[in-house]
């Protein structure tokens, strides 16, 4: 049996152990510490952002971004339907209602025209505009950010970017996650870089970042007697000093990781170009520069000769991991009652889409195995 080819396995640079060892040597193994401070600074330099708060997960980042935007019971938040559940679930944590919006056909992210349609309709139906907008950069692909921000600004609705899959992706030369009021990042085990588990929130100011840190450390109010005093509900959301050490080591290899994933995607594009029924997802134009966190393909079952599930089964038989695209949230039982503004794109892409191995541990020999199998169909 051939060795298993994983979808997106983390790769260590060799520097992670140095920073983790420092944490142990100095006994900074509890949350917060020098690695956390340095990781926030170094990550900010990479992202082109001044104010970054390291957190326990990307989900925590989205949750705290919504807290900072004042989302609460009775509010509505516009979310992209074509995404992972963690983009939407934090809205419900706060007693608010997600309003789901379909995608543009080229980038697969929130459709700006549908976004405006949803805003106008929600105002007409509820008498209130949505409290926030959460666009997602699916599989690392930037959205039509200028158009989305224009709609958001027209109605004066803040944007919380879910850039959890898009660390290192650019739109018009600017990092995804730095366009809205807040931007959420993830360092889960399969992301561009990992801290084992973790995330971060990009904030608009030093004051906002301080407030996020306050909420992320159980919202303990300062007082002259060092008592435990709480006037707000807080959360245990800060990243540990040990995990931040892993992140610092990972950052030293991020440019290599990005280059590898983009090269993998280019190989799929070149090698599968003449396979009938197979389309490799591309940057829609020169403004888009995806990190191609995952390489994705669409399968036309008539032209190709088998459907997405049949191809996935053949890959599995060959010990190659693949995954269907995220099942749109409007098709999920947890979201069945939420408003949904549709153009059919998310369902169509989900029905035909498959994620292929693209992580930094995928070798040229692995790619040859994958391509050969797809070409043989």
pLDDT digits (tens, 9 = 90+) for 326-362: 999 999 999 999 999 999 999 999 999 999 999 999 9
Q: Do 9 and 245 form a contact (C-beta atoms < 8 A)?
A: no
Q: For 267-315, how does the pLDDT look when each residue is reduced to its tens digit (9 = 90+)?
A: 999 999 999 999 999 999 999 999 999 999 999 999 999 999 999 999 9
- The confidence band for 376, taking pLDDT boundaries of 50, 70 and 90, is confident
Q: For 152-161, how does the pLDDT look when each residue is reduced to its tens digit (9 = 90+)?
A: 999 999 999 9
CA triple 88-98-118, angle to 5 deg: 125
Q: Residue 7 has which token pair?
A: 């979808």
Parallel, antiparallel, or unpaired: how do β-strands 132-134 and 76-80 relate?
parallel
For residue 299, which phi and psi values (nearest 5 degrees)? -120, 115
Closest CA to 136 of 72, 198, 89: 89
Q: Would you say residue 377 has pLDDT above 70?
A: no
Q: What is the pLDDT of residue 123?
A: 98
Report, as an integer, the average pLDDT of 214-234: 89
Q: How many CB atoms lie within 10 A of CB 154?
A: 10
Show the domains of the chain with their CATH numbers: 16-251 (3.40.640.10), 254-376 (3.90.1150.10)
Report, as an integer, the average pLDDT of 127-149: 98
Q: What is the pLDDT of residue 1?
A: 57
For the four alpha carbons of 342, 348, 351 and 355, in that order, the dihedral sign comes to negative
Report, as an integer, the average pLDDT of 51-57: 98
For the four alpha carbons of 76, 188, 183 and 61, in that order, the dihedral sign comes to positive
Q: Do 273 and 242 form a contact (C-beta atoms < 8 A)?
A: no
Residue keyed to tokens 């907008």: 133
Q: What is the pLDDT of residue 224?
A: 79
Report, as an integer, the average pLDDT of 9-38: 92
Share of the chain above pLDDT 70, in %: 99
Q: Would you say residue 149 has pLDDT above 60?
A: yes
Q: Would you say residue 209 has pLDDT above 60?
A: yes
Q: Would you say residue 151 has pLDDT above 70?
A: yes
Q: Residue 32 has which token pair?
A: 């917060």
Parallel, antiparallel, or unpaired: how do β-strands 199-203 and 182-186 relate?
antiparallel
Q: What is the pLDDT of residue 46?
A: 98
Q: Would you say residue 24 has pLDDT above 90?
A: yes
Q: What is the CA radius of gyration of the chain?
A: 21
- The confidence band for 28, taking pLDDT boundaries of 50, 70 and 90, is confident
Q: What is the pLDDT of residue 31?
A: 76
Whole-model pTM?
0.96
Report, as an integer, the average pLDDT of 21-39: 90
Please state, in angstroms and rounded to a whole number, the distance separating the CA atoms of residues 241 and 229. Answer: 25
Q: What is the pLDDT of residue 32?
A: 85
Residue keyed to tokens 């695209």: 325
Q: Do 71 and 317 form a contact (C-beta atoms < 8 A)?
A: no
Over the chain, what is the mean pLDDT? 96
226 or 293, higher pLDDT: 293
Please state, in angstroms and rounded to a whole number, the distance separating the CA atoms of residues 150 and 250. Answer: 35
Please state, in angstroms and rounded to a whole number, the distance separating the CA atoms of residues 356 and 110. Answer: 23
Residue 278's DSSP bridge partners are 299
Report, as an integer, the average pLDDT of 5-30: 93
Q: How many CB atoms lie within 10 A of CB 41?
A: 12
């Amino acid at each position: 049996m051939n060795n298993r080819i994983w979808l997106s396995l983390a790769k260590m640079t060799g520097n992670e152990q140095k920073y983790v060892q420092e944490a142990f040597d100095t006994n900074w193994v509890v949350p917060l510490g020098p690695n956390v401070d340095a990781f926030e600074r170094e990550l900010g330099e990479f992202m082109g952002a001044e104010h970054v708060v390291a957190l326990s997960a990307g989900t925590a980042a989205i949750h705290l971004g919504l807290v900072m935007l004042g989302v609460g019971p009775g509010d509505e938040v516009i979310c992209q339907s074509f995404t992972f559940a963690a983009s939407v679930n934090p809205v419900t944590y706060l007693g608010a209602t997600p309003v789901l919006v379909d995608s543009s056909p080229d980038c697969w992210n929130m459709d700006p025209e549908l976004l405006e349609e949803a805003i106008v309709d929600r105002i007409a139906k509820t008498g209130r505009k949505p409290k926030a907008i959460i666009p997602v950069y699916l599989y690392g692909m930037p959205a039509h950010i200028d158009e989305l921000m224009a709609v958001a600004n027209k109605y004066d609705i803040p944007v919380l970017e879910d850039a959890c899959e898009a660390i290192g992706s650019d739109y018009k030369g600017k990092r995804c996650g730095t366009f809205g009021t807040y931007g959420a990042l993830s360092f889960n085990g399969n992301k561009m870089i990992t801290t084992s588990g973790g995330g971060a929130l990009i904030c608009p100011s030093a004051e906002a970042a301080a407030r996020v840190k306050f909420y992320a450390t159980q919202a303990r109010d300062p007082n002259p007697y060092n008592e435990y005093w709480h006037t707000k509900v807080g959360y245990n959301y800060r990243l540990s000093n040990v995990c931040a050490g892993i992140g610092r080591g990972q950052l030293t290899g991020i440019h290599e990781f990005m280059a590898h994933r983009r090269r993998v995607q280019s190989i799929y594009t070149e090698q599968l170009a003449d396979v009938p029924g197979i389309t490799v997802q591309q940057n829609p134009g020169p403004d888009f520069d995806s990190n191609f966190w995952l390489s994705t393909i669409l399968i036309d079952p008539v032209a190709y000769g088998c459907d997405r599930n049949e191809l996935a089964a053949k890959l599995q038989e060959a010990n190659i991991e693949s995954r269907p695209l995220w099942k749109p949230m409007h098709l999920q039982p947890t979201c069945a009652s939420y408003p949904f503004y549709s153009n059919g794109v998310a369902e169509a892409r989900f029905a035909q889409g498959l994620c292929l191995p693209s992580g930094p541990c995928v070798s040229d020999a692995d790619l040859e195995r994958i391509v050969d199998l797809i070409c043989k169909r």
